[in-house]
Amino acid sequence: EDQVTQSPEALRLQEGESSSLNCSYTVSGLRGLFWYRQDPGKGPEFLFTLYSAGEEKEKERLKATLTKKESFLHITAPKPEDSATYLCAVDQFYFGTGTSLTVIP
């Protein structure tokens, strides 16, 4: 069964404390792995697309990586404004349930 699983469900970090979010998938024939950020009461906002194992993309304090079975979203020295729910999706069809990130000043 095709599936996307994100962990942890929730993460609390001190400002400046780096960490990683995980997205594992069992979908065969991956055409694209997407990361989105969602703020409360708003629609998801696109962050990254990864297409092949070994690919990496960066944007400010965020870096996304991809292997054959999972993707990581690395957050370096986070700030309170990085607090949000981070969603991953495979092929824009299968979404994970998200990781709720809280960054404490």
Partner 1 sequence: NAGVTQTPKFQVLKTGQSMTLQCAQDMNHEYMSWYRQDPGMGLRLIHYSVGAGITDQGEVPNGYNVSRSTTEDFPLRLLSAAPSQTSVYFCASSYRKGAEAFFGQGTRLTVV
Binding site for partner 1 (CB under 8 A): 4, 31-32, 34, 36, 41-46, 49, 87, 89, 91-93, 95-98
For partner 1, the closer of residues 29 and 105 by Cβ is 29
Angle at CA 72, nearest 5°, toward 68 and 74?
Answer: 150
Q: Which is nearer to partner 1, 41 or 105 (CB)?
A: 41
Helix, strand or coil, per DSSP, at residue 80: helix
Q: Toward partner 1, which CB reaches closer, 55 or 79? A: 55
Nearest distance from C-beta of residue 95 to partner 1, angstroms:
4
With beta carbons less than 8 A apart as the criterion, state whether 27 and 87 touch: no
Q: Are 37 and 45 in contact (CB under 8 A)?
A: yes
Give the shortest CB-60-to-partner 1 separation in angstroms: 17
